[in-house]
Amino acid sequence: MDSPPESHLELPPEPPREPILTLPGALTAYVALIALIHLRVLLPPEAENWTIDVFGFIPKRYDSTLLDITFPGGAGAKVWTFVTYSLLHANLSHIGFNVLWLLPFGSALARRFGAVRFFVFMTVTAAAGAVAHLLTHEHAIAPMIGASASVSGTMAAAIRFAFVQGSFLSFSRGDAEAAARVPALSLADALRNKRVLGFLGVWFGVNIIFGVGSIAIGADGASVAWQAHIGGFLAGLMLFSLFDPVPRAAPHAADASSPDGSGRI
């Protein structure tokens, strides 16, 4: 006697999992814009220097008490350079360093905010970095350039949700889209989270070392504008909630410090 045929169950296919570091469109456009602007290095030296003077952030531009110096760009440059400096870079290694940090933090933030919020956020954190640099370099003539203040802002904003269970720095994360959409911690809860505090300690420690040691980077020996980094970082940390479209987590949301969400390891 033949045995009855076995029944076969067809399981629905698993939804595709987006790689965690696939660049969203907003961040791709931002990096492409930086790369396109960097083609200025192909200009004759006089034109390239003019570009830096017109679009770089020069604290002395706002000070008339010491030397009577006329900078290109006029009154308009006193406004737009609070942002345009962040799109200029000294060399490819300068761009590469900033893009390297934007891959995890900027990607998560661009997915979470959407294109418009992301670009406005990058603008606000760039301006905050310029303000911090101006307050600490009141009479400086050397132009400041680079996206590091905005990059620092993305890092600060991202840690508000990066360690929450399911997010991109947690021990158990979902795909890239899900990881960017977990409810964020309030600022007060974030500042009580041990992993966030550890990140803050390392980040501020590295920047203080650069500042106190006057460490230079790059082939041209340009020094790090670490005060601008801190300005952008603090703006990103404190202003995150103004941009965040994802509903806030419960007051004591579980973080990813332990598999059971207890926060204990």
pLDDT of residue 122: 98
CATH number at residue 211: 1.20.1540.10
Domain presence at residue 175: yes
Measured CA to CA, the distance from residue 188 to residue 241 in angstroms comes to 12
Measured CA to CA, the distance from residue 45 to residue 189 in angstroms comes to 51
Domain presence at residue 259: no
Residue among 113, 105, 111 nearest 242 (CA):
113
pLDDT of residue 221: 45
Q: Which domain holds residue 111?
A: 25-243
Check if the beta carbon of residue 58 is closer than 8 Å to that of residue 141: yes
pLDDT of residue 214: 43
pLDDT of residue 4: 54
Domain presence at residue 248: no
pLDDT in tens, the chain (265 residues): 555 555 455 544 554 444 444 789 999 999 999 999 999 999 999 999 999 999 999 999 888 775 667 788 888 999 999 999 999 999 999 999 999 999 999 999 999 999 999 999 999 999 999 999 999 988 888 899 999 999 999 999 999 999 998 888 877 666 788 888 899 999 999 999 999 999 999 999 888 876 664 444 444 445 667 899 999 999 999 999 999 999 875 555 444 444 334 333 3
The CA distances from residue 130 to 134, 187, 189, in Å, are: 6, 24, 29
Domain presence at residue 156: yes
Domain presence at residue 48: yes
Domain presence at residue 79: yes
Rounded (10°) CA dihedral 177, 178, 179, 184: 110
Domain presence at residue 157: yes
pLDDT of residue 264: 36
Check if the beta carbon of residue 213 is closer than 8 Å to that of residue 132: no
pLDDT of residue 260: 39
Domain presence at residue 3: no
Count the domains in the chain.
1
What's this model's pTM, rounded to 2 decimal places?
A: 0.81
